[in-house]
Amino acid sequence: MSNFTGNEIIHQYLRHNKKFPHVLCAGCGHGIVLGTLIRSIHALEIPKDDVVVVAGIGCSGRLAVYVDFNTVHTTHGRALSFATGIKMANPKLNVITIMGDGDALSIGGNHLIHAARRNIGVTALVLNNNIYGMTGGQSSPATPVGSTTMTNPYGQLDNSFDTVELAKGAGANYVARGTVFHVNKLEKIMTEAIERPGFSVVEAITPCHTQYGRKNKYKSPVDMYKWMKKTAIPVERYNELPEDKRKDRMPIGVFVERDRPGFEESYQKLQSSFLAPATKGGK
């Protein structure tokens, strides 16, 4: 591994002709996710030209603008569709999608479950801040029951999706959850996800104080980070807790680790079987 300092890594992997500082609100955790992403790719020593970052619409979609990789800014909810096409066209590329909870679980929800079902070799980063942040603070499929939003001023009534359980049930090869408070753990998870064959899902819990926090019980962004510190617990410890003690805790860590070949690998093998030279006797 190259002996880069933190500043050297930043200058190597970020596009400095873009406007900095970034457009994210003060206290937003998306910048932390951006940092973990470039450090993970650096740790794996993946050449920049071999990385494709595909993003949808929303605050999370802005991250693709800043990284000096091959990048695609797609329509809302369709990041995984574009990523699937890219991976199938050139399986040697490391394809990473960046999506928000609305982008991944609402309009893009169907693409998420079928990407997991196919086990396509793409890494999906779901930046979950429990809200539609960029479009005004509407409830998302991840908004907790009882939360106040612009579209539910008297409290959210719908049950929220559990991203981890959804990805597990749909068949993803690797499923993990981290928070932007637990940076080292999130970086380790992200590195493993990128390296793992098949479809990987990493849910990164990140605060949105502007649209979610201040409308609920959090007086400042710091309160939201304190909530992550207090609530998050390693999944191994979580599984040991009795049911009544799990209510206000959030398990983080790795939930699924499989080594099944990605869909693109299986497709290549099938393709090769048709292109193989005919054997003697025309068989």
Residue 112 is assigned to a structural domain of this protein = yes
Residue 6 in tokens: 């933190």
Identify the pLDDT of residue 141: 92
What number of residues does the chain have? Answer: 283
Cα separation, 280 vs 283, in Å, equals 6
DSSP 70: E
Sheet with 51-55, edge to edge strand ranges: 70-73, 51-55, 94-100, 122-128, 200-205, 174-179, 250-257, 232-234
In CATH, what number is assigned to the domain containing residue 229?
3.40.50.970
Helix axes 163-170, 109-118, angle to 10 degrees: 40
Range of the domain at 126: 6-237+247-282
Residue 131 in tokens: 């809200």
Find residue 201's DSSP bridge partners: 124, 175
Cα separation, 209 vs 231, in Å, equals 17
DSSP 133: T
Residue 1 is assigned to a structural domain of this protein = no
Rounded-to-10 torsion of CA 125, 129, 135, 138: 130
**C-alpha distances out from residue 92 to 60, 187, 189, Å:** 25, 23, 22
Residue 210 is assigned to a structural domain of this protein = yes
Cα separation, 88 vs 211, in Å, equals 37
Residue 38 is assigned to a structural domain of this protein = yes
Residue 22 is assigned to a structural domain of this protein = yes
Number of domains in the chain: 1
Identify the pLDDT of residue 136: 87
Each of the 283 residues of the chain gets a pLDDT tens digit; together they read 445 556 678 788 998 777 677 889 999 999 999 999 999 999 999 999 999 999 998 899 999 999 999 999 998 889 999 999 999 999 999 999 999 999 999 999 999 999 999 999 999 999 999 999 888 889 999 999 999 999 999 999 999 999 999 999 999 999 999 999 999 999 999 999 999 999 999 999 999 999 999 999 899 999 999 999 999 999 999 999 999 999 889 999 999 999 999 999 999 999 888 887 655 555 5
Residue 242 is assigned to a structural domain of this protein = no
Residue 72 is assigned to a structural domain of this protein = yes
Identify the pLDDT of residue 134: 84
Helix axes 30-43, 183-195, angle to 10 degrees: 50
Identify the pLDDT of residue 8: 75
The model scores a pTM over 0.85: yes
Identify the pLDDT of residue 1: 40
